[in-house]
Structure 1
Amino acid sequence: MLIGYLKKYVFFLIFPLFLLFTMTQCQQKNVQDNLENGFLNPPNSAKSGVYWYFMDGNLSKEGITKDLEAMVRVGISHVIFLEVNTGIPRGNVNMLSDEWLDIFKHLVRECERLGVRLSLGTGPGWAGTGGPWVNVEESMKHLVSSTVTVQGNRTVKVFLPKPQARNRFYGKFAFTAEQRKDWENYYEDIIVLAFPTPKGDKRITDVDEKSLYGRYPYSSMYGVKQYLPTSATYTTIPSDCLINPDEIIDVSSGLQDDGTLVWNFPSGEWTIMRFGVRNTGAVSSPAPLPGLGFETDKLDTTAIAHHLENFAAKLFKHVGFEKRTEQSPYGGLAALHFDSWEMGAQNWTEHLRDEFIARRKYDPQPYYPAYAGFIVESLEKTERFLWDLRKTIQELILENHLGYIRKFAHSHGLELSIEPYDMTSTADLELAAMADYPMCEFWRAGFGFNTLFSVAEATSMAHLKGQSVVPAESFTAMNDGWDAYPGSLKNQTDWALSAGINRFMFHTFVHQSFPDSIKPGMTMGGIGVHWNRNQTWWNMSKAYHDYLARCQFLLQQGRTVADILYFCPEGNPHVFQAPQSAYDKQTGNQYGLFYIHPNETLERVSAADNPNINVFPDKRGYSFDACPPSFLFQADVKEGNIVFPSGATYRILVLPNKETMTPEILKKIKELIMHGATVVGMPPKKSPSLQGYPQCDIEIASLVDDIWGKGPIPSTLLKKRVGEGYIIWGNELVESQDNLYPHYDCTAKILSEMNVQEDFIADGVRYTHRIGTGYDIYFVSNRTNRDLETNCIFRIDGKVPELWDPLTGEIRKIQSFLSDNGKTIIPMKFNINQSFFIVFRKDGKPTESGTNYPSFRTLYAFNNSWSVSFNSIGGESQTIMIDKLIDWRDSKDEEIKYYSGTATYHQTFELTDGMSRKTLFLDLGKVGIMAKVWLNDKDVGTVWTNPYQLDISKYVQTGKNKLTIEVVNTWVNRLIGDAILTEQGKSQKHTSTTYSHYNKNSALSESGLIGPVRLLEVIN
């Protein structure tokens, strides 16, 4: 009987464990099956998108349907709708007219029908929230002032001029005549203050930046600060050179309607400041004329509510859209999009004083003279006030503007994407934290501005928040010239994927409203890479978009692995820049940049002039993210790692080398250390804020003693135990400082001493790493511009690596690898620009048997004559016979030399029975630019990048084989040919476009099937 009880007891003990094990195995198998299925057949969520630009009234229902069908045909499933005016002649359909609204309704319905996910810009133009419905009273505002001095000891009657509005940089005065009049006339008095005139000319430097009169584009303008420095020590200024707040008099009641002030002043010289409100000059640029108007007050919910009611809500109502639900189809309205911040800064709103008092716990009014650079009480207190002013404005922007837009979007079941830069007065990362999808931007290499910093910002916030998708405005360009094509962008594509971008939003697909006979057709002036259905190579681009979809699917799984978390310092504006030393510099991909001068002229800077920034910045072996101050409060510690609710996990927290920090943040850092975190950084000395002064500095000193101790700064790195964690500090952190943080080598040494190996090591290969339940995914890409053989070392062991080729969809096991001591070493080969995924999902032991890559020998060379047919697009229809493959631009026939479009090559070849049973590849050699292959009238596939090879084993037959190759080039040669015809006064042009890039001296582009074309046999 006892044995029976024991058996029953053992059964009830073991069976649940067995059941749990079985369920876990099934769950892991399901995850792995979903991983493989999604890679082979990517869902719409993994597909790319476009900025879909409409050019000021040039739109049609027919063109919209053709645009969308062309997108879906090549694998595009996301669009951002924006209508702009960039110099193209206006069309006949005014924005928001009845006809326009009817067309927009058609657009939404077509997106629903075709499964295209639509994001609506938050206002007309490509940036901001403004329009003609925005009253000047609801617009962005500055607190401005005028100053006069008088002698006292008498009743003074003096005229105080109205303060003048500030000139706005970047698109200034893009007003209608009526709006300009409103801008000039709008004025509201706030207060008149008087104080004894300080002696000398001591003033706050760069006060316009510090008091947020302007924030210029960091990405593109010379001299714009990454951040505004704070200090723990300030110059002592004599008291008679300062404004004593106790001596400030409010003389507003003496101001007459005509601007005359009457007041009885005590003896001495007095400075009188008349403070008032003016419009900042920010308008909805570059909006179409019917959408042109003032930008809304970014600190006031009433203003943004009014704007959304007159724009987004009006469109929703006309379309019949109420709320997106989980049951809604994939396509249709899905999100609002707030594009890059280009409306500059503001420093006033109606209730700013009340908000400031509530948030900072003191009255800002005595410090109003600091707006104009006067020093109140002391330089330190004035700088602290300006820091508090900027912080208050940041909070109001995040809560009252972006926070309201997000609530509005969510109330309609929509998501919100934000590009959190480029002229914003907030810290970029704090703005990014407001988004459901933080977005970044990168320009086509050699064709634009340096926005690479935005990639680290957006990917960091997505990782911290656990957002699986990181979209990017991709390949933005100036003077692109229709010469870009998928193969030319492959290296930069892989850079972006390894940087953490996993939804490309190509900039730009311009809506083609013209008849199909007009090609290349509509442009966005000279802006944007031309990614639209009128491209010569558009239909062949499906192969590239399929490649992207496979990559993006895998890179949207699990979470990103990163070891280092850089803490972004408090204060705004702030652009996060990681240490330059945390990136490998890639000299093979240097490119020039554009910069804007203050007079708004453009200058191009070559790589030779500025080699430090003109690279694709690939992360080194320890990856990283950045954390904004507000988000650090969500962090916890588990097993010595810093973790967030999303699951984002980091080995160390690295502090910026800043002398200031608020007590609230330092308390949180202490808490993390006490709970087991490892923190690297030097101690702060003071708070940057006037809030709670001077007690805040006393609190900082106490917390510093608790964490770092009271001793001198160590000459070398010191690892000090604090609670369950560690603080690591010493002069080496300061001496190696790189962009506010310790040099990467210093941080890497710390991680190595913690027994944390680099996540990935290989010469000439970039990477990114994602981890999920039962799998690790590494994306690896050749970054050298040459064929490459190297050992790749992955921080994982005990699992069998698999090679997943996103170019072909092939999945195969790695045959030869070593695995031990936390590392897996794989000998790998890459063609130029080639990339792979290495997936670890199954347990197994290392093996050195077999080879990881096929070897080839030439079985047959296609040296016979070719029949080549040229169609009538961009040239005359004709068929020719050629004995030798040539570049079209070398042809003596000008119709071929200047031809743009598709040509079809024909040839036959014979195989014996033994040859046809082998594994065979067709190698096309050099192709200008893309090719589609048929064998025996069967579609074999499209080649668009290295290696220009296709497996034809399933398509060959014994005996005679018919080979057909369609080859397409870019529009460049025909556009140049037409430029020559135009200069010769001839009228037989083949092309028509709204922006001219070429002249008779422009260089022709490589075109055609250049070869050599070979049949290759796999020999291993």
Structure 2
Amino acid sequence: MQTKRFLTLILIGISSLNLAKAQLPAKKMVSWPKVESQMKPWTRWWWMGNAVDDKNLDFVLQKYASAGLGGVEITPIYGAVGFENKYLQFLSPAWMDALHHTVKKANTLGMGVDMNTGTGWPFGGPQVKPEFAATKLIIQDYKVNAGEKLMEPIKVKEAKQDFAQIQAITAYGPNGETENLLSALQKDGTLSWSPKSGVWNIYAAFAGKTRQMVKRAAPGGEGFTLDHLDEKSVDVYLKRFTDSFRNKPQGIRSFFNDSYEVYGATWTPTFFAAFKENRGYDLSTHLKDLVSKDSTDENIARLKSDYRETMDELLLNNFTKNWTNWAHGLKSLTKNQSHGSPGNLLDLYGAVDIPETETFGSSSFKIPGLRRDAADIRNVDPDPVMSKFASSAAHTNGKTLVSSETFTWLTEHFKTSYSQCKPEAEALFLSGINHVFYHGTTNSPQDIPWPGWLFYASVEMNPNNSLWPHAQGLNHYIARCQSILQSGKADNELLIYWPVYDVWNKAKGLDMALKVHDVDEWLHPSPFYKLAKDLSKAGYAFDFASDRLLSRTKIANNLLQTAENAAPYKVLIIPACKLMSPETLNQIVKLANDGARVIFQELPKDVPGLNDLENRRVKLKSTLDKFGFTGDGKAVSVFKTGKGEIILAPNVQQALVQQHINRETLTDSGLQFIRRKKDAETFYYLVNHTAKNIDTYIAINATGKAVILDPQSGLIGSAAMQNNKVRVQIKSGETLFLNVSQAPMQNTVWTYLNTASSPINLNNPWTLHFTAGGPELPADQKLDKLTSWTDLKDPKLASFSGTGVYTTTFNLSVKSAKEYVLNLNQVDESARVWINGQEVGILWSIPFQARIGKYLKAGNNAVKVEVVNLMANRIRDMDLKKIQWRNYHEINFVNIDYKPFDASNWDVMPSGLIGAVTITPYN
């Protein structure tokens, strides 16, 4: 009996132990997410002249896929001279066959296909007859005395305005009277009206045409630019595609629209009606003010604000949403560059499936050794805050992807290295971008002599580029980064209101296109911009909100829920702004009543617009008067209302501290970051763009154990932690991911490079053998010292662009260190390394170092380094020899200043391995 009881107790104990084990968190092995096609970089793919055929399409798509591209975005443009017989007319049956072949082939290669809903840019083409073309407001003024009639007919004086339509005729009297004279206009243009007293000014408004044509149009895509503000015009435009597609899906993942560059399009024939319906008063009575040159009058500024708000509504509803609904009908998405539009960018980005920003020109980074030549720089620096308009629209609307046209005019042609690309892409990632599109790749048939067909504003991401053999280095890095940055949801704690009415409230000008190139005018001077920069530097993460977004935001668990699939926000911040609508203010109060925390940097002072002005001012003041703040009014004052509170704090960061909204102090080290959450995991993307190497323990707000993932090498390991801080070693120019989770980790321990021994210099002679490139392969070289191969005696080397392979050996007397790091020093421009026949990887960016301990052995070791250089030297040589290689229609080929391209005056660019190569042991 006792034995039986003993066995029962044993079984109960075992069962309890198993239950306890089952309740412990399962151990987790952190790994890179499976890379899907959308996680790889995609590229804008120019079809020059639509001169494409199945054989060449198959060939280049295979090349793209092998190099690690995830998809192509077809944009047809003008063609090369002399190949006109190979051109296909856009959307013709032959063109559609090429599209179908492309989609089928790309899909078999695991690639996706996007397509521009047009050719060149902006939208337009042969289906855009004058009545559907981009429209501008033309206002002419006349004078007439009492008792007299206007002698000249009211007709458009501007040339080539045969399709102009009269919209309004308004007379202004000497005492401020106005009179609508449209009904007095006769068929011959005369006016059957005369004033009874005084001198009257007559203003006639016409809907004229901008006459802008599609820029860089492809064959079959030429024509007028579309009237984006008119629904009927947009429907007519899209019908051409619907008919060509036979109203069936084409396998296009996403239809694309380039940045809004519809110049001078200030009107649409339905504008007066839309204005009266939405603003509540008759714009035709204000023609005089609408074209006024007075840049200081407050009422004119208010009128222009109302005009701009109406244009915003027309563009949002008649074009952006209309086009997106059309694409959805074809089982496709939309991808839109909303910047440059005359509207609220946050709403325009948010109305499409994939918001897309762009970078134009290059940024200045402090990374030692990173080349930035003054002659190769556009005077436009990409601005991370500008990029956050697109990412904010994605995050707040619960969208997974936010893309970027990337590297446009990064440097002068043929001088862009992958090392220069890397920090630019990282700046985008830090801004919330997670779907990079290269700008770009030109389709070029195999039989076109080197350098093939090229587009003038591109960094030439194509197989003819001498850097192409190492494209996988950059592409795999971006794919690893995006595999995490597309996972889960953005983890931003702050929602910052963008005061668009302060931007619109300007008396100068008419429409207001908010361009990437003009941020110093409409973005940089604002308190909103300064606040965003300060909060980012301090270590806060945030997104931007529009009035429309706030109007549909809800409160759940005292957090701001902007959309069903969006991550919630802890605090709403209203930066210092002058103007706010009573409706927005009331919605903010409602959010606070429902449990939100709202921080005003300053309270708004007035309402925007002109209609019912005094009543709306009373409404705004009435709401503000209910704010019963407690506090001294100098620092942080609090008004508790309902379940939440409204805080007034000129120093927003001070208010955040009091609200226990913690910043990420890791930015004090110089690191930049972005966070994402996936289930119970938090991911940190850490970037070192400082001039120093960083080796320190950093505090992070997420709790748990950290695993390090290196997106360049692919290495993963459990991080060292101390007092809830994580040790990171990040050299200048490097990045790391942290995976933070409460679950126990199974990953091996990350190998830190602690104590360095004396470097091993690779002093044995090197052999240099050229394997690919041109114009012809130079002879082999024996090198006692590594210098630019352009400095060697062979004259062929100064003009050579291609691949050179360096080989040498060195002796390692004993292999005893914990790790060994290879340092190639200066590489122009990328290197692929093998040690003892085993491939280490591609070292394509600064600092050109790699961990190689596992490849080394005691005794003699063989080193092989394959280096590719820029295209620049070969192009220079061709221009010196007057070899014709560029001959395209329209703009042909221009330099970074949009002048005719000529490389004959360039200096020879350094190439190859330069300086000492070392291997440093670490313990």
Does TM, normalized by the shorter one, top 0.5?
yes
> C-alpha separation between the residues in 2 aligned to 1:956 and 1:144?
76
Aligned to 1:359: 278
> C-alpha separation between the residues in 1 aligned to 2:664 and 2:739?
14
Aligned to 1:620: 538
Deviation track 1:148-192 (CA, whole Å, cap 9, x = no partner) reads 11122x362521342345xxxxxxxxxxxxxxx8x5322222333
Q: CA deviation at 1:638?
A: 4.0
Aligned to 2:348: 431
* Change beyond 3 A, Cα 1:876–1:989: farther
* Structure 2 unpaired stretches of 5+: 1-14, 363-376, 506-515, 522-529, 896-900
Indicate whether 1:785 and 2:691 are aligned: yes
Aligned to 2:512: none
Q: Secondary structure at the match of 1:344?
A: coil
Structure 1 segment 473-484 matched on structure 2, within 5 A: 473-477=405-409, 480-484=412-416
Deviation track 1:120-165 (CA, whole Å, cap 9, x = no partner) reads 1122213x3211211111122233222211122x362521342345
> C-alpha separation between the residues in 2 aligned to 1:991 and 1:1008?
31
Which has the higher mean CA deviation after the structures are superposed, 915-924 or 270-279?
A: 915-924
Kept in 1, the 8 Å contact 2:258–2:337? The answer is yes
Kept in 2, the 8 Å contact 1:428–1:574? The answer is no
Aligned to 1:226: none
Indicate whether 1:399 and 2:310 are aligned: no
Aligned to 2:3: none
Aligned to 2:249: 323
Aligned to 1:292: 222
> C-alpha separation between the residues in 1 aligned to 2:298 and 2:735?
54
Q: CA deviation at 1:438?
A: 0.9
* Change beyond 3 A, Cα 1:691–1:923: same
Q: Secondary structure at the match of 1:458?
A: helix
Aligned to 1:193: 170
Kept in 2, the 8 Å contact 1:427–1:572? The answer is no
2:793 equivalent among 892, 901, 916: 892
Kept in 2, the 8 Å contact 1:760–1:767? The answer is no
Indicate whether 1:67 and 2:74 are aligned: no
Which has the higher mean CA deviation after the structures are superposed, 997-1006 or 700-709?
A: 997-1006
1:110 equivalent among 105, 109, 129: 105
* Change beyond 3 A, Cα 1:366–1:803: same
Q: CA deviation at 1:812?
A: 0.6
> C-alpha separation between the residues in 2 aligned to 1:898 and 1:351?
60
Indicate whether 1:524 and 2:455 are aligned: yes
Aligned to 1:498: 430
Aligned to 1:770: 676
Indicate whether 1:343 and 2:262 are aligned: yes
Q: Secondary structure at the match of 1:915?
A: coil
Q: CA deviation at 1:775?
A: 1.0
Aligned to 2:908: 1004
Aligned to 2:526: none
Deviation track 1:616-654 (CA, whole Å, cap 9, x = no partner) reads 997431122110110012323344433323343333222
> C-alpha separation between the residues in 1 aligned to 2:616 and 2:184?
39
Which has the higher mean CA deviation after the structures are superposed, 106-115 or 637-646?
A: 637-646
- What letter matches 2:125 in structure 1? G
> C-alpha separation between the residues in 1 aligned to 2:50 and 2:751?
59
Q: CA deviation at 1:315?
A: 4.5
Kept in 2, the 8 Å contact 1:831–1:946? The answer is no
- What letter matches 2:412 in structure 1? D
Q: CA deviation at 1:99?
A: 4.2
Q: Secondary structure at the match of 2:237?
A: helix
2:211 equivalent among 272, 275, 281: 281
* Change beyond 3 A, Cα 1:42–1:253: closer
Aligned to 1:411: 329
Indicate whether 1:835 and 2:715 are aligned: no
* Change beyond 3 A, Cα 1:859–1:390: closer
Q: Secondary structure at the match of 1:291?
A: coil
Kept in 2, the 8 Å contact 1:857–1:1017? The answer is yes
Q: CA deviation at 1:851?
A: 7.2
- What letter matches 1:748 in structure 2? Q
> C-alpha separation between the residues in 2 aligned to 1:616 and 1:756?
15
Aligned to 2:715: 810
Which has the higher mean CA deviation after the structures are superposed, 881-890 or 615-624?
A: 615-624
Deviation track 1:175-225 (CA, whole Å, cap 9, x = no partner) reads xxxxxx8x532222233332314xxxxxxxxxxxxxxxxxxxxxxxxxxxx
> C-alpha separation between the residues in 2 aligned to 1:851 and 1:71?
35
Kept in 2, the 8 Å contact 1:683–1:708? The answer is no
Indicate whether 1:162 and 2:139 are aligned: no
TM-score, length of structure 2 as denominator length: 0.84
Aligned to 1:134: 128
Deviation track 1:897-918 (CA, whole Å, cap 9, x = no partner) reads 3322111122345567x63997
Aligned to 1:589: none
> C-alpha separation between the residues in 2 aligned to 1:956 and 1:506?
37
Indicate whether 1:463 and 2:395 are aligned: yes
Aligned to 2:606: 686
Kept in 2, the 8 Å contact 1:938–1:955? The answer is yes
* Structure 1 unpaired stretches of 5+: 1-14, 166-180, 198-239, 325-331, 576-592, 599-611, 734-745, 820-824
Aligned to 1:672: 591
Q: Secondary structure at the match of 1:491?
A: helix
- What letter matches 1:561 in structure 2? D
* Change beyond 3 A, Cα 1:356–1:342: same
- What letter matches 1:192 in structure 2? I
Q: CA deviation at 1:662?
A: 1.7
* Change beyond 3 A, Cα 1:448–1:415: farther
Kept in 2, the 8 Å contact 1:916–1:956? The answer is no
Aligned to 2:550: 632
Deviation track 1:272-328 (CA, whole Å, cap 9, x = no partner) reads 223322112333223236422222222222211111111x324434xxx8237xxxx
1:513 equivalent among 428, 445, 469: 445
Aligned to 2:777: 876
Q: Secondary structure at the match of 1:303?
A: helix
Aligned to 1:555: 485
- What letter matches 2:841 in structure 1? G
Percent identity over the alignment is: 24
Q: CA deviation at 1:870?
A: 1.5
> C-alpha separation between the residues in 1 aligned to 2:189 and 2:587?
51
Q: CA deviation at 1:454?
A: 2.9
Deviation track 1:944-986 (CA, whole Å, cap 9, x = no partner) reads 124434444554456654433211111122233344444xxxx
Kept in 1, the 8 Å contact 2:50–2:219? The answer is no
* Change beyond 3 A, Cα 1:361–1:90: farther
Aligned to 2:242: 313
* Change beyond 3 A, Cα 1:989–1:692: closer
Q: CA deviation at 1:417?
A: 1.0
Kept in 1, the 8 Å contact 2:134–2:262? The answer is no
Aligned to 2:5: none
> C-alpha separation between the residues in 2 aligned to 1:1003 and 1:854?
42
- What letter matches 2:646 in structure 1? I
Q: Secondary structure at the match of 2:323?
A: helix
